Amino acid sequence: MTTKEQWAQLQVAAEEIMTKAYAPYSRFKVGVAGLMDDDRIVVGCNVENAAYGVGLCAECGMISSIHATGGGKLVAITCVDQHGSSLMPCGRCRQLLWENGKPTTQITTPEGIKTLSEILPQAFGPEDLAARAEDQLQMDQS
C-alpha cells in the first residue's frame, strides 16, 4: 500500500527530474518517478535527439536506472508533463513498465490511481515466451 506521503514524494521527484529533460525539438518535458519494492525512488526524464526517431522517453531512463541501481520491481509510478500534471505513458513505455513492475503496480493517471493491468490489459510478457518455449524447441529441431 503506497502511502499519501510516498505519492507526494513521487510527485516531487517526477517534477524535479522533469526540469532536467532535454526536449529542444518537441519542447515537451516529461519526468517520471518510481517507487521500488525496496522503497528506493528511481527517476527518469526524456532525452531527445537531432535524429528525432531515436529520442528516449522519460520511462526509458528510469528503467535503465532501476537496473543500474540494483533492480527490483516497481510498486508505484508517477509520470508528469511540464506543468506537473499526470501524464499517461506511451504504449511502448507501458510495455517497459509492465516488465519492471507487477500487474498490481499503481500509477497516477488523469482519472486517478490505476494499476498496470488496467492501463495495459492482456499484456504480453515473459511468461508468454516461456509458455511457448516448447514450440520453439520443436521448430529448432525440425
Select 60 or 75, whichever has its Cβ closest to ligand THU.
60
Shortest reach from residue 4's CB to ligand THU, in Å: 25
Shortest reach from residue 90's CB to ligand THU, in Å: 4
Grid cell locating 36: 521500488
Amino acid found at 2: T
Select 57 or 74, whichever has its Cβ closest to ligand THU.
57
111 is catalytic: no
Helix (H, G, I), strand (E, B) or coil at 61: helix
Beta carbons within 10 angstroms of residue 90's beta carbon: 14
Which residue of the set 5, 16, 48, 59 is catalytic? 59
Select 101 or 138, whichever has its Cβ closest to ligand THU.
101
The closest alpha carbon to 97, from 84, 112, 115, 122, belongs to: 115
Interface residues toward ligand THU, by CB under 6 A = 23, 26, 28, 30, 46, 48, 55, 57-59, 89-90, 93
Distance, in Å, from the CA atom of 129 to the CA atom of 51, rounded to the nearest integer, reads 32
Shortest reach from residue 8's CB to ligand THU, in Å: 22
Amino acid found at 77: I
Quick one: which H or E segment has residue 141?
A: helix 133-141
Residues with a known catalytic role? 59
